[in-house]
Amino acid sequence: MKLYIIRHGETDLNAKSVMQGWVDPPINRSGRELAALTGQAMRDIRFDRCISSPLSRARETAEIVLRESGNEIPITTDDRIREMSCGDIEEKSITEMGDAARLFFVDPFRFPGFPNGETIQDLCSRTQEFFRELTAADDGKTYLISTHGCAMRAMLNYLFDNPSDYWRGHAPYNCAVCIVEADGGTPRVTELDKVYYDQSLIVDHYKIS
């Protein structure tokens, strides 16, 4: 069993370093271009199934990747892999978040959660429920999973030797792919944040200096 877990393409809110959460902007021109380049580089991969977050930026990314890679398969959605709810902070920039942004991006397990939103622990619980259920089936198929940056980190967090290092150095880049193999129902990350496009196009919109 093999899973290609992709973060969605760039949105206009990403480009402004804004916390999106459950708001639902589409991907922008750059996001569509990165998704297309990623799909074209995946032409040798035959996906059996595709599961996406229901948010449009993830679903559209999946549609483009599947089209450009020549995989004509349906997309199903699962609410458990939507992005973390940022509650009252949604559509605010990391600058507007102030000290809360530093804690969230440096030590998120100590972050108390967003007002009227979720905590990292909440996000880990629901994304890992999805991931454990999927990999336990060990059906031998190849999956494209289209999700979000923070949700991707939460989903895979328990697989690493040091789960407290939540961000693994940075938020996943737009259209970055984590590759997981699950033989015998035991998943392992074989590639972290692989980009299928030229690295000169990478932009880290949520870097805390």
Residue 19 belongs to domain with CATH number: 3.40.50.1240
Residue 207 lies in a domain: no
Mean pLDDT across the stretch 73-80? 98
Total domains present in the chain: 1
Strand segments, DSSP code E, in 17-141 are 49-52, 75-77
Distance of alpha carbon 79 from alpha carbon 52, whole angstroms: 9
Q: Would you say residue 206 has pLDDT above 70? A: yes
| pLDDT value of residue 209 | 66
| pLDDT value of residue 5 | 99
What is the distance, to the nearest Å, from the Cα of residue 163 to the centroid of all Cα atoms in its chain?
17
Distance of alpha carbon 157 from alpha carbon 171, whole angstroms: 13
pTM: 0.97
Residue 208 lies in a domain: no
Percent of the chain with pLDDT over 70: 100
Strand segments, DSSP code E, in 27-149 are 49-52, 75-77, 142-147
Residue 45 lies in a domain: yes
3-state secondary structure 99-125: HHHHHHHHCHHHCCCCCCCCCHHHHHH
Q: Would you say residue 101 has pLDDT above 70? A: yes
| pLDDT value of residue 150 | 98
Kindly list the strands in the beta sheet with 49-52, ordered across the sheet, starting from the edge strand earlier in the chain. 75-77, 49-52, 142-147, 2-7, 177-183, 186-194
On average, the pLDDT of the chain sits at 96
Torsion sign, CA atoms 149, 150, 155, 160: positive
Task: Mention every residue, 6+ apart, whose C-beta is less than 8 A from residue 59.
Answer: 52, 53, 75, 77, 146
Residue 74 lies in a domain: yes
| pLDDT value of residue 148 | 98
| pLDDT value of residue 95 | 92
**Residues 138-189 pLDDT 10s:** 899 999 999 999 999 999 999 999 999 999 999 999 999 999 999 888 999 9
Count of Cβ atoms closer than 10 Å to residue 98 Cβ: 10
Determine the structural domain holding residue 96 and report its residue range.
Answer: 2-201
Mean pLDDT across the stretch 119-144? 96
Band the pLDDT of 85: cuts 50, 70, 90: very high
Which CA distances in Å does 146 have to 66, 92, 99, 102, 108?
11, 24, 30, 27, 23
Residue 209 lies in a domain: no
Mean pLDDT across the stretch 91-109? 93
